[in-house]
């Protein structure tokens, strides 16, 4: 929980300096992410939206992995530079690749859970867990996934992060009813609403939801009530649609990290000195990982055409690769934007320029 905002602070600032293409912070939602991650089995299948970095790192995805993926460099373990930042995925950690289209992961999760139900080695042991915001719950895919998981029962755990905003649209303009939890009973699902800023409450709620999901082999819905303190992304300025004072008040009155720290300190399990030491150590680790990832080159350009399709390479892909090679050969040393970008890649695109039809 402490590491996540430290990462956010660094990555948000370096994106503003032009060193990173894109980033999404997790400010205010740390308890929902870490509390839920701790309640899952590490081999449960997770399908995230785009604000679940904390869940993946809880499972062992390292700082180096995260930084390399954010830069899309030659050590990127997720996609070797094919994905945009924040679109993580790791088969090793049972975390499915994130995709940009909103809510598509919800019906996919119901399908993954159905596959688990059909697998004798995992039936009754694992569930599929899907994270999404209350904005995504306004998409048709939300209802499709809920319907699938309830009518063709499968162990799908739906976790809605109700952080108050679908980018710039406040929750009170997204729905008229009582949030997302009110929709669960209509699909015959056990439903739990929890204080998403209380990490222990989230842990217990998700642990119970997972038990129900596994024991009954059916979908369960959890709605975590939290607040998005940060901007939606580095492409957003949230102060254009909400008062700055509102954000400052929420940071001061309902900060999930501060709440948990006060809980630990009140019981003598933590101190200000330990907190300062932890933050200093984590800042040092995050900065070192960032500098190392920043210094690494991007993959060879030919890799953008590899591992895109399974089986035999389609002629269309081969044609595109050959065309790019011809263009690079003709303009690579002439057009300034290409000259600048090619220097960042291993081989500077030579392997494509030398390709013969």
Contacts of 69 (CB under 8 A, 6+ apart): 76, 77, 78, 79, 83, 85, 88
Residue spans of beta strands (DSSP E) within the chain: 45-47, 95-96, 128-133, 156-162, 165-166, 169-170, 190-195, 220-225
Active site residue 241: yes
Sign of the torsion angle spanned by Cα atoms 224, 230, 234, 237? positive
Q: Which residues of 45-72 are buried (b: 16+ CB within 10 A; e: fewer)?
A: bbbbbbbbbbbbbbbebebbbbbbbbbb
Task: Report which secondary-structure segment, H or E, holds 320.
Answer: helix 315-331
**Which of 185, 26, 50 lies closest to 105 in space, CA to CA?**
50
Catalytic residue selected from 94, 96, 231, 232: 232
What distances in angstroms separate CA 120 from CA 77, 170, 217, 305, one per listed residue? Answer: 30, 44, 13, 37
Q: Select which of 59, 161, 228, 345 is catalytic.
A: 228
Angle between helices 3-16 and 63-71 (to 10 degrees): 20
* Distances, alpha carbon 49 to alpha carbons 24, 94, 175, 266, in Å: 11, 15, 20, 35
Among the options 91, 118, 241, 281, which is catalytic?
A: 241
Catalytic residues: 228, 232, 241
């Amino acid at each position: 929980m402490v590491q996540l905002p430290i990462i956010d602070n660094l990555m948000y600032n370096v994106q503003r300096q032009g060193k990173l293409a894109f980033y999404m912070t997790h400010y205010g939602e740390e308890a929902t992410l870490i509390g839920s991650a701790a309640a899952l089995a590490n081999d449960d299948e997770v399908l995230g939206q785009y604000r679940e970095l904390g869940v993946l790192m809880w499972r062992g995805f390292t700082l180096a992995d995260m930084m390399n993926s954010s830069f899309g460099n030659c050590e990127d373990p997720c996609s070797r530079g094919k994905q945009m930042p924040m679109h993580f995925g790791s088969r090793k950690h049972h975390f499915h690749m994130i995709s940009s289209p909103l809510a598509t992961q919800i019906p996919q999760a119901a399908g993954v859970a159905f596959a688990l139900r059909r697998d004798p080695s995992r039936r009754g042991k694992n569930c599929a867990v899907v994270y999404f915001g209350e904005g995504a719950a306004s998409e048709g895919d939300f209802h499709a996934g809920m319907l699938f998981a309830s009518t063709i029962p499968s162990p799908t755990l739906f976790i809605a992060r109700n952080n108050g905003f679908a980018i710039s649209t406040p929750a009170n303009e997204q729905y008229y009813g009582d949030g997302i939890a009110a929709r669960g009973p209509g699909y015959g699902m056990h439903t739990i609403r929890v204080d998403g800023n209380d990490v222990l409450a989230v842990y217990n709620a998700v642990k119970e939801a997972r038990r129900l999901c596994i024991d009954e082999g059916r979908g369960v819905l959890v709605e975590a009530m939290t607040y998005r303190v940060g901007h939606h992304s580095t492409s957003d300025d949230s102060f254009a649609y909400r008062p700055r004072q509102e954000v400052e008040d929420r940071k001061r009155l309902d900060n999930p990290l501060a709440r948990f720290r006060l809980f630990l300190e009140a019981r003598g399990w933590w101190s200000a000195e330990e907190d300062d030491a932890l933050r200093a150590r984590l800042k040092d680790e995050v900065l070192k990982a960032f500098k190392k990832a920043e210094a690494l080159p991007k993959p060879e350009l030919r890799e953008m055409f590899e591992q895109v399709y399974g089986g035999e390479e389609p002629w269309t892909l081969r044609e595109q690769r050959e065309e790019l090679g011809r263009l690079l050969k003709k303009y690579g040393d002439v057009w300034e934007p290409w000259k600048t970008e090619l220097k960042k890649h291993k081989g500077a695109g030579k392997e494509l320029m030398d390709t013969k039809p």
